[in-house]
Structure 1
């Protein structure tokens, strides 16, 4: 194996794929990337048993085809530390990889390519295309409420569902639920899958680097792939049934409260400075105003009074400040609506200017 490449042509693709490599894994091969030279194309592949990212580079001179696995961290750091636009010669001799130019030389140990994991290429059941910004919107609208290491493994990810050309993303950690609907989609087949949390986090990084592009999506029984122009992202799916969510979002509410988004967000952030470790915030709702309160174990107290649009009965609710801030940070609107029935029932939060996103937060019992 031998090829010659300019540092800038190698560095950016290499940075895309190395995030998922597992440092200090019990399986040394998972710390590595696979380098493959085939048909005048350089392929770089990373894998962590859940996610596989591959990218291809044509801007290189291939002298001899072949493939080998090498430490992702070391290979990336070496490439970074060559000078701008350096020409790098990379070759494999006697089970050692040499990386050099006229002045610098590195020799690295390698592992055989046949040890490198790969997904079984099952026949894809569904294929369709989606605009990049559509997928970003669906993910960013709901990703913050995914479960984290929950025993109910099926909530440690994002439900992506398509039905009658309407696509949904739904996430929950048991204390809140986020829902995004995207309508007016054409020729999208019906499906329902759960993508793991780690995969969603890595996928959104790639999506943000590929603005205004079309993503080719393929789904089979246990994996999904997203193909960009030169990059292929593949992940395993979570096998399980996502909790039912339609009933709670279609519930009727008796009380309607309108807040100025920025005023509410700023007030909660200020007051929560002294909140306890559980981020508990109390809100006294009265006619046309609300008092937001926090306190802690050493009897420190913060209060702030804000104007609201409300004409119902007085009541008091408590909630996790972080859950509300996550939602308000996503909203880019002037006003948000809180819908609820009493101080112990769920709170539905909606963006007045965006009917496609809805959020449910469970209150804390007083």
Structure 2
């Protein structure tokens, strides 16, 4: 195997795939990147057995072949070579030689046959949508995923495929985030999969904000997302996600409309003197006004008052300020809507006049 390639051409795919390579591996080959040189160019693949990212670059191949080399060492070598350098990678028996002008590096290798790859995911119903749409969908929901919860199915993001939309849902048991984007797909009934946290974070890192098309495929045990020159594959969490529709409150009368930035800033200031562990703030709503109050074990207190659009009956309720701030931060409109039921029920946070993204926050006893 032998290839000649520009530094930047090789660095870009290496940067895309390096995130899945763990520093501590159970199998030595998982610390390596798979290089495949064939008539289609150079393919690079990295995996941790849960997430796999494969990249391809269109370069002429001097000599076809395949091998695995230490991923992070290869990345560091290429990154630290001068810009515009020409790099030659050649395999000599069980060594890989990386040369560039007066620089020469000899790396150990492992056979490509030892490298585990996922080719067929048994996909069904591919969905086509823009990179930007998929990125925003994940970005605006993933923060509600649980972190190392014993209910392992909460440590991931639910993707639900309907005949006319793709929906993402995340919950940690105290709050819930739901978003959806339209997309035509040939399915007769809903299909649900749960993508693990690492897969969600790596996919978010790979996706751009542009309108280029991505192909989303849901297999029996894997999710695959294909970009222009990248292919992302993640194992799925085997479990049953909670019936999230049941926790979304039906709100009709007590709807509070507030300026998003003013509410966010008031919450940030009020939370300064809240209990550091529970971050609790008290909402006292009345017609036309919202009073936000917090205190802590040191008997310190903060009070913020806002003019809001609220025509319902007076209500006093406690919330975790951080959860509300996360929800409000995911909303882009000037006004935010908070639907309230009673002092013991969750609230529903949405953009004013747009329910495509919904955020449910449970109340706190203060």
Name the residue aligned to 1:308.
308
Task: Give 1:17-28 correspondences, 5 Å limit.
Answer: 17-28=17-28
Name the residue aligned to 1:73.
72
Name the residue aligned to 2:228.
229
State the Cα distance separating 1:14 from its structure 2 match: 0.8
Q: Report whether the alignment pairs 1:104 with 2:95.
A: no
Return closer, same or farther for 1:122/1:277 CA change in 2, 3 Å cut-off.
Answer: closer
For the residue of structure 1 that corresponds to 2:225, the secondary structure is strand
Task: Give 1:41-120 correspondences, 5 Å limit.
Answer: 41-59=41-59, 61-119=60-118
State how far apart, in whole Å, the 2-side matches of 1:219 and 1:168 are. 13
Return closer, same or farther for 1:122/1:345 CA change in 2, 3 Å cut-off.
Answer: closer
State the Cα distance separating 1:142 from its structure 2 match: 1.2
Name the residue aligned to 1:124.
123
State the Cα distance separating 1:43 from its structure 2 match: 0.6
Name the residue aligned to 2:270.
271
Name the residue aligned to 1:215.
214
1:202-231, Cα deviation, whole Å (9 max, x unpaired):
11221116x221112222211121111111
| Aligned 8 A contact 2:222 2:233 in 1 | yes
Once the two structures are overlaid, the 10-residue window that deviates more, 123-132 or 50-59, is 123-132
State how far apart, in whole Å, the 2-side matches of 1:107 and 1:143 are. 41
TM-score (norm 2): 0.94
Q: Aligned match of 2:185 in 184, 187, 192? A: 187
State how far apart, in whole Å, the 1-side matches of 2:30 and 2:297 are. 45
Return closer, same or farther for 1:128/1:333 CA change in 2, 3 Å cut-off.
Answer: closer
| Aligned 8 A contact 1:127 1:217 in 2 | yes
For the residue of structure 2 that corresponds to 1:208, the secondary structure is coil
> Where in structure 2 are there 5+ consecutive unaligned residues?
none
State the Cα distance separating 1:128 from its structure 2 match: 3.1
Deviation above 6 Å: which 4+ runs of structure 1? none
State how far apart, in whole Å, the 1-side matches of 2:110 and 2:284 are. 63
State how far apart, in whole Å, the 2-side matches of 1:282 and 1:63 are. 68
| Aligned 8 A contact 1:333 1:353 in 2 | no
Once the two structures are overlaid, the 10-residue window that deviates more, 187-196 or 335-344, is 187-196
Name the residue aligned to 1:168.
167
State how far apart, in whole Å, the 2-side matches of 1:122 and 1:300 are. 57
Q: Report whether the alignment pairs 1:362 with 2:352.
A: no
Q: Report whether the alignment pairs 1:336 with 2:336.
A: yes
State how far apart, in whole Å, the 1-side matches of 2:8 and 2:75 are. 12
Name the residue aligned to 2:292.
292
Once the two structures are overlaid, the 10-residue window that deviates more, 173-182 or 12-21, is 173-182
State how far apart, in whole Å, the 2-side matches of 1:330 and 1:122 are. 33
State how far apart, in whole Å, the 1-side matches of 2:61 and 2:33 are. 19
For the residue of structure 1 that corresponds to 2:109, the secondary structure is strand
Name the residue aligned to 2:346.
346
Name the residue aligned to 1:246.
245
State how far apart, in whole Å, the 2-side matches of 1:119 and 1:103 are. 38
TM-score (norm 1): 0.94
State how far apart, in whole Å, the 2-side matches of 1:244 and 1:143 are. 18
> Where in structure 1 are there 5+ consecutive unaligned residues?
none
Number of aligned pairs?
363
For the residue of structure 2 that corresponds to 1:177, the secondary structure is strand
For the residue of structure 1 that corresponds to 2:272, the secondary structure is helix
State how far apart, in whole Å, the 2-side matches of 1:312 and 1:129 are. 43
